[in-house]
Amino acid sequence: MNPFQYRDSLLFAEDVNLQELANAYGTPCYVYSKGAIEHNYRAFASALQEWPTCICYAVKANSNLAVLSLLAKLGAGFDVVSIGELERVVRAGGDVSKVVFSGVAKRSDEIRRALVIGIHCFNIESTAELQRLDAITREMDIQANVSLRVNPDVNPTTHPYISTGLKENKFGVDIELALDIYQRIEQCSHLNAVGVDCHIGSQLLELAPFQTCFERIFGLIDQLNAIGIVLQHVDVGGGLGIRYTQDDQVPSHADYAQVLAPFMRDRKLELLIEPGRAIVGEAGLLLTRVEHIKNTSAKNFALVDAAMNDLLRPSLYSAWHEISAVQKSYGATATYDVVGPVCEAGDFLGKDRPLAIQEGSLLAIHAAGAYGFVMASNYNSRARAAEVLVEGDQAWLVRKRETLGQLFANEIIPD
Ligand code: LLP
């Protein structure tokens, strides 16, 4: 479902005119479609309905409270990686008994708080972390559910920065050591081994790496069963890719479920899945306005009011986001590098894009709902963008634009 469609020559978000929205809230501004988020969540739920399933939305993809609240109302669980994300889930009314806590270096204070809140499960990533959790649960005399994140050594064939399931990555424990570690968990009076967990990477456009990963994870579950360790759930992580370019072929939710089916069949296991991007990515765009057009002997530049501090993906991963003019014009098209005002040559949102635009034109940067605002920074002392959620013809401001006062509110000039 693409909630961003042209009506005549003007781009709409659901039934909201994006030009009017930009005038009301200013730019740069992230716009999310409630309908698309719901649609994407339900697509997972229906593809996986054959098994008892908990969709633990990966909060890191887009952690706006309005987005979390929407997913909580749909019945989602949540995958968090910090106490900040956990407190967001609590604030948004999420069900904490459906929260899994991932991450390679959970601090003691984060573990304590999660135990008090009563989350479902800790995804353990090392024996050092296991020792820490064991000590804290004994001291607090609280039981904790744990799931071991194993590193299945699978190449997800995605960008190296977002590949997480190879031996050289910092994530999870070597699958060969897992059996031993589960036996150690059995010795811990306050820990219950309830699951096994993996996450091999993000923006996967092929199913083969998932297939290999499932073979290894379910093989481990069989080995555990053989020594009398019976788990309640298998957590297959996130990673399903989305369409950034028109050529991207994305496996459907149903295709993904089909790969999973032979592994899940005839097992009494709950399925946990941690999608982030596939739920919110294509449900969002970044609106930005052209400040100037600059033509040099080498290039045409569209200098816009959004920058790498607002959307880091193009600079960090050379990621490609489709860029279109909000008002389609039948004027002359030229090829532009769409760049921001930040003082770095790496500050670009798209290169060599054919656009019919002029000073003041509005541009939409597509598929920016995941890893967009959440990775924004204040570099160059730029206040972070506003965020708006649309439903039908309604638009809600779900995060005010940061003010300059907020930028230095925490800073202190010594006497
Ligand atoms: N579970 C775990 C343990 C993860 O580390 C991640 C993402 C997910 C689930 C969700 O993965 P997804 O379904 O969204 O692919 N900033 C990068 C992406 C980093 C992903 C980190 N982990 C980007 O902009 O592409």
Digits of tens for pLDDT over the chain (415 positions)?
899 999 999 999 999 999 999 999 999 999 999 999 999 999 999 999 999 999 999 999 999 999 999 999 999 999 999 999 999 999 999 999 999 999 989 999 999 999 999 999 999 999 999 999 999 999 999 999 999 999 888 877 777 766 666 677 777 888 889 999 999 999 999 999 999 999 999 999 999 999 999 999 999 999 999 999 999 999 999 999 999 999 999 999 999 999 999 999 989 999 999 999 999 999 999 999 999 999 999 999 999 999 999 999 999 999 999 999 999 987 889 999 999 999 999 999 999 999 999 999 999 999 999 999 999 999 999 999 999 999 999 999 999 999 999 999 999 999 9
For residue 21, being part of any structural domain is answered with: yes
- Ligand 1 pocket, mutate which of 197, 277, 365 (most atoms under 8 A from CB): 277
DSSP 177-236: GHHHHHHHHHT-TTEEEEEEE---BSSB--SHHHHHHHHHHHHHHHHHHHTT---SEEE-
**Pick from 135, 100, 105, 103: nearest CA to 118:** 100
Examine the domain organization and report whether 168 and 111 are in the same domain.
yes
H helices of 92-207, where?
A: 108-117, 127-140, 178-186
Report how far ligand 1's centroid is from the alpha carbon of 339 (Å): 26
CATH number, residue 109: 3.20.20.10
Ligand 1 centre distance from Cα of residue 242 (Å)? 12
The alpha carbon of residue 408 and the mean position of all alpha carbons in its chain are separated, in whole angstroms, by 28
Q: Are residues 25 and 136 in the same domain?
A: no
Say if residue 345 is in the same domain as residue 224. Answer: no
Query: Is 343 labeled as catalytic in the residue annotation?
Result: yes
Q: CA Rg, the chain, in Å?
A: 23
Give the residue, by CA position, lying nearest to ligand 1 atom 24: 371
Q: Is 313 in the pocket of ligand 1 (CB under 6 A)?
A: yes
- Residues 363, 228 share a domain: no
Q: Can you give the pTM of this predicted structure?
A: 0.97
| Structural domain of 194 | 103-273
Q: Is residue 288 part of a domain?
A: yes
Structure tokens at 107: 């601090």
Do 265 and 312 belong together in one domain?
no
Residues 352, 222 share a domain: no
321 touches ligand 1 (CB under 6 Å): no
Say whether both 258 and 190 belong to one domain: yes
Number of domains in the chain: 2
Buried b (16+ CB within 10 A) or exposed e, 128-163: ebbebbbebbeeeeeebbbbbbbbbbbebebeeebb
- The residue annotated as part of the active site, out of 54, 198, 213, 343, is 343
